[in-house]
Structure 1
Amino acid sequence: MAPPKTVRTISQEAFDEMVKENIDDLGMEPAEALEDAIQTLSLQGVDLSGIIKCVPGESSVDENPVIQTLTGLKRLSSGGELLTSDEIVELLERLSELCGSKGSGNAAIAAKNGGLELVISTLPKLPRNGSHRSLDLALNTLVSLLYDLQSTEIFKENGGPKMVMNILNDESLDTSILNSGFSVVAAAASGNEVLKESFMDLKVDELIIKTLRKHNGRSLPCIYDAIRVLLTSDDNRVVASQVFGYARRFAKVGIVDLLVSTLHEGLSSPCVVSASIALRSVAVNDEICRSVADNDGIDAILSCIDDSGEQGNKTVAKACCSLLSKLAGSDVNKGVIIEKRGVPRLIKLAARFSEDPSVVQEVMSLISVLCLRSPDNASHAVEAGAGDLAMQAMQRYPESDQLQRNACLMIRNLVVRNAENRTILLGHGIEKLIRKAKASHKVCKDAATDALRDLGLDNYNS
């Protein structure tokens, strides 16, 4: 692992002293002294998250609602007995609300003042029988507190993974607790390869499978987020992530059929997008991709694509197209998608969302994958209208650099091994549009050059 990037920080005491010196030594007014300290430290690159920005003497750090709540929670948690009072629920409810307030900075204040360690130490003392309110609140508060690498490291060092897994393994828990617990798994493992490994060592994959089989996935949307995070290489300290092996482990214990089952529910399931993203994370090799088709997953995805067009749901449309692009990395799956009239259905989807370039470019990306190394598929795609789609999109959205690039990539795959398609597209004036994209967008340069070359044009570099 590469060493973590050093961030300059300051203690609450040092910050307060700086404000006090501005008042006492420089004669500034309190408000001016506070603002000067904030600006000076910010310009110096000091991280002020977690600092309570108040004027010493006018207000006290102890008066901050987060600090007051932590103090009360620490008082109740100091003993070894089970915490069952109404007061613990009130305090956790308040802390959860404070830390969950976006943009307030309260989560950073709590973390800087030992809130994360305190909540973790409180977990074993909360009741798991009867009402789960306090446990649910504590887990939700943990999610808010796990917002950066430093906080996830604190979580790891204080035994957080094992503690949360113990809670999740308690079969008596209701779906609300399970959902909150898997939210913690997702938050903790985000950007932290070591924590991904910790959860996998604790067999979180087997637990996820068992939980999905026992409970309806509709009631556990966060379990899909946990799968996605565990299988995403997002820790820039790591040269070689282990997530590829983790995906194979998930596939081996049966995740594919469970995720495909959710997709078969179609848009009636609130988890169809999350399940699509999770399945995309699992599909890391040809064998797993083909197993999706073996479970009738291609049918399910194409049905979701059809329904997303009819219902105008672009989020589902993009998620399913992205998933299908990943699965089409398997040549066997390419054939299945073509046989099921996948390209005409995609062209129809693009037409329905012609006002949204983000959907159109996702469709073109998928068609590009389907045509890769397959002249027959390329012929089929042009017959279905892929060439017309490219031209219309490039004319309609000249300023969308990613759409223009995706169009160039698709055109190249349509013509690189198919001379007939070259003639058709050149006859329709595609060269002018590609050259315009190349001149207008730096990101299109390589893709446009390749498209012009494979169209058989001599001056493709100009």
Structure 2
Amino acid sequence: MVRVITQETYDEVVKENIEEFDMSPEEAIKEAVAQFEAQGVDLSNIIKDLSLSSGENHLVSETISKLKDLVAKGGSEEDLLQELEVLKSECSKDIAHRVRAGKEGAYTLLLDLLYSKHSKIYEELSDRDTKFMIRLLECMAALMEMQPDLLDGKGVDLIKNILDNIENEDIITATLKWTTTCCVKHEMNRQKLFAKNIGENLNLLLKVAGNEKLLSECLQVIRKMTLDDDVRVEFGKAHDHAKELGAQMLVPLTNLLKENTKPPLVSELMLTIASLLVRHELCKMVAECGVGVLFTVLADNYDNVAVVQQADKLITALAGHDEVKRDLVKSGIVPIVVSILNRHSSNPTASALTLKCVAALCLREPTHGLQFIENGAPEAIVECMKVHPDNASVQKNACWAIRNMVARCRDQNSKFHELGVESLLNSAYEKFAPEFGFDIKSALRDLECDVKLDEQWTGKGVQLDY
């Protein structure tokens, strides 16, 4: 069990090292850290770089105190901006600084300042007001990174009001960045924002032309809405969010992909589309809108491994719909996928994702498996297994690809045997049996290799009374 301590306890130990053992501040900090780590204490929430010898407060606390004084006394915006920059810099250092700022009331302070500027939304915002509001939003995003619990109902209302009423694209971009921060690892924040119909705002923002930064932040919020990463919640609504957002946005997103087939937006667009494909009708919707754009994307970015990885994810997601999968194969996706597998075989992530793509396209489709074999997929798969023998994802996805290719085409097994795949699978079993030994044995079984299958359930020989 992980142990934790308070900032005050840590400070006292450092001070004791300085006063009792005549250490320098640097030595005192190093000794305190070593002492607590030896005891199994988690110091991730502790500010370690302290100037304690002079007895001064933390810079985070001093900055927040100065901000409060400036607000109370009606200080100038220039002074406020200066202190906000310091606070943002401190919050950007690590989670410990952000936790300290949160405890000192930074969230409430920033929110009140935002509301004071937000009250002018029905007026024309001056350049100075705009600059000040953007700085506040950036500072809020820095403060709440990895501590989204700070968001309250007032903050949710402010996000919605800004998106509803402010047209300045820089302010909207900063608001979306704050929104993204609020949604990471926090299911309730996502649900509260979704309940405010934020999807409607995001859908409208997709139509804003020419602002790549704004579109990128918008796509990030869409993806974060579909996450299921909050371990504190037993049942989230990631699927429901993806279903509703997909129905609204997949058509405009696919159209945007047609217009942006090269970096920087192409990867984000494909990743966002893939994250929304959670139902058959949504896959069909994208296909009808024009899935042929994938061929253009792959042709334009054949050597770009980052783009290829996202294209693999999108093809795999679309292949979840059998009719769409058949249309992709009829359109000629097979030789392209095999070519990608050969081109990027040295990259473990790209290899794993492309192998998963092969497995998805061949699932329950023997004719697809035959096409892959005819286009040289066995050689490419075996090469990936040889290049990445210690990569679990590559080995596991290779097993799936092999199984789906030969499960209904056993007469094609000889091709894999000629390439020595049996020894590769046996080597993988020795390394990864506890993780996915069943998948490896299943591949060996479908290749008609000599394999001993474990009996999963056995009777105890007990006489049953009737």
Matched, 1:72 2:70: no
- Asked if the contact 1:360–1:403 (Cα under 8 Å) also holds between the matched residues in 2, the reply is yes
Name the structure 2 match of 1:155: 151
Moved more, 317-326 or 66-75: 66-75
- Asked if the contact 1:70–1:110 (Cα under 8 Å) also holds between the matched residues in 2, the reply is yes
Distance 1:295 1:7 in 2: 54
Name the structure 2 match of 1:188: 182
Matched, 1:134 2:125: no
1:440-459 correspondence runs (5 A):
440-442=431-433, 443-459=435-451
Name the structure 1 match of 2:391: 400
Name the structure 2 match of 1:255: 249
Name the structure 2 match of 1:369: 360
The offset of 1:240, in angstroms, is 1.5
SS of aligned partner of 1:417: coil
Aligned with residue 230 of structure 2, among 227, 230, 235: 235
Distance 1:395 1:20 in 2: 56
1:314-335 CA distances to partner (integer Å, 9 max, x unpaired)? 1111011012101111101111
Matched, 1:289 2:287: no
Distance 2:48 2:347 in 1: 44
1:286-435 correspondence runs (5 A):
286-296=280-290, 298-309=291-302, 312-435=303-426
TM-score by length of 1: 0.88
The offset of 1:104, in angstroms, is 8.8
The offset of 1:20, in angstroms, is 3.9
Distance 1:330 1:38 in 2: 54
TM-score by length of 2: 0.87
Name the structure 2 match of 1:201: 195
1:253-284 CA distances to partner (integer Å, 9 max, x unpaired)? x2001211222134435222122221111111
Distance 2:418 2:411 in 1: 11
Question: Unaligned regions of 5+ residues in structure 2, if any?
Answer: 455-466
1:255-274 correspondence runs (5 A):
255-274=249-268
- Equivalent position amino acid for 1:153 in 2: D
Rate the CA distance shift 1:451–1:78 in 2: closer, same or farther, 3 A. same
Name the structure 2 match of 1:178: 172
Matched, 1:164 2:159: yes
Matched, 1:245 2:237: no
Name the structure 2 match of 1:146: 144
The offset of 1:247, in angstroms, is 1.3
Distance 1:299 1:356 in 2: 26
The offset of 1:30, in angstroms, is 4.9
Rate the CA distance shift 1:34–1:425 in 2: closer, same or farther, 3 A. closer
RMSD, matched Cα: 2.6
Rate the CA distance shift 1:78–1:339 in 2: closer, same or farther, 3 A. farther
The offset of 1:117, in angstroms, is 2.5
SS of aligned partner of 1:213: coil
Aligned with residue 49 of structure 1, among 35, 40, 45: 45
- Asked if the contact 1:276–1:323 (Cα under 8 Å) also holds between the matched residues in 2, the reply is yes
- Equivalent position amino acid for 1:93 in 2: E
Superposed structure 1 runs of 4+ greater than 6 Å apart = none
- Equivalent position amino acid for 1:247 in 2: A
Distance 2:444 2:232 in 1: 39
1:386-434 CA distances to partner (integer Å, 9 max, x unpaired)? 1121122223332333212211111011111112222332344322222
SS of aligned partner of 1:441: helix
Rate the CA distance shift 1:332–1:48 in 2: closer, same or farther, 3 A. closer
SS of aligned partner of 2:390: coil
- Asked if the contact 2:44–2:96 (Cα under 8 Å) also holds between the matched residues in 1, the reply is no
SS of aligned partner of 2:157: helix
1:296-339 CA distances to partner (integer Å, 9 max, x unpaired)? 0x212232122221xx2111110110121011111011112101
Matched, 1:107 2:94: no
**What percent identity do the matched residue pairs reach?**
22
